[in-house]
Amino acid sequence: MKQNEIDFQHPSTRDQIRFYLFVAIAGILMIGAYKLGSPSYYLGWFAFFISAFSVAGNDAVQTVGTFIESKRTVHWIPKVAVLGGTIVIIFLGAWIFHDSQIHFGRLENFPETKEFNLIQLLAPLILVVITRLKSPISTTFLILGLFGGNNIEKMLTKSFFGYGIAFGVAVLIWGILVKLDPKEYTEDHAPDPRSEKRWALFQWLSTIYLWIAWLRQDAANIVIYLPRQLSILEFILAISMLVVALAIILYTNGGTIQEIVTEKSDIQWSKAATIVDIVYGTILIVFHEWSKMPMSTTWVFLGMLAGREIILNFMTYRDLPYLETFRKVGKDVLLASMGIAVSVFIFILASQIYPEKTSGFMK
């Protein structure tokens, strides 16, 4: 069976067993290494590799999700070459111009961790499982919250504000687009093949634009496990791990969580996906320049999709009942809220078990 014929969004029972067996083995190895007193340096690299896969897997839906959906006929290797090459270039620039650091200033409010606790090390595995269950959990809260609890309130505030801004921007932009060309947003619309081909090229560029914007925002969620300053060999190893993680995500077409994008209106067309990427990437860049405090890009993405979905169904008078539209939007918010609840619970658990290694909510 060819790769693009495999339904990675609906894995078989055998695939599920293999996946959870892998998670169990990785968890056992991590716990064993921790209990045997392995140096935190090596434990951090192990956690980094898992977090690279888990964060990329969870956040792939908001960064390359639209790209995956509209480029299902394109082989995964060219996708890895383009997006993996972007990873190398953007991180190399950060490493050269930011004193061998690759967190883009997002960890300035987080002290470097010299010794990890077990919950911090297992958090990426928890994220892998939650992602498998199709829940768009915020990696910012789940991962970074365990390393700087005093920042949780600020991250929550910025993230919820980001949801509202993204929602409003989406309503405005797609409201205008529907007014300009209402036929293009009807439910049975199919773009002209020649137009779709032209937009397909633009989408490669818009995906790179969004990919760069996201890396500058969320790279900190992954590199928190690494030393702040990396040698050239450490840098090469870290980038190699990130590219491998990206390759796995693209090979599996985003995995089970890709359904969040799949079920949204007309997102399979290149023009629609390109506009989504440009709007979302621009919002992330604005928030990146506004404040160095990390935020949940997941909530920003869900806010944009919610505003877009609601205004399209409202202004095009689609047959899809309003209740069904709000069900889709509400489901995403509910799952993301459950993710926040899980993240806060894990943080509280860590602060009780390892009070000397976990910052409190307030100083």
Q: What is the pLDDT of residues 58-85, one digit of tens each?
A: 666 667 766 776 677 778 888 889 989 9
Packing angle between helix 193-218 and helix 40-63, nearest 10 degrees? 150
Tell me: the pLDDT tens digits for 197-245? 888 888 889 889 988 998 888 888 889 999 999 999 999 999 999 998 8
* 354, 121 Cβ separation under 8 angstroms: no
Across 166-188, average pLDDT:
84
State how far the Cα of 67 lies from the Cα of 215, in Å rounded to an integer: 16
Token pair, residue 347, equals 């943080």
pLDDT, the chain, mean: 80
What pLDDT shows up at residue 8? Answer: 55
Rounded to two decimals, what is the model's pTM? 0.81
Q: Is the Cα dihedral 40, 42, 48, 54 positive or negative?
A: negative
Q: Whose CA is closest to 357, among 153, 42, 114?
A: 114
Helix H or strand E segment including 130:
helix 118-132
What pLDDT shows up at residue 198? Answer: 81
What pLDDT shows up at residue 59? Answer: 65
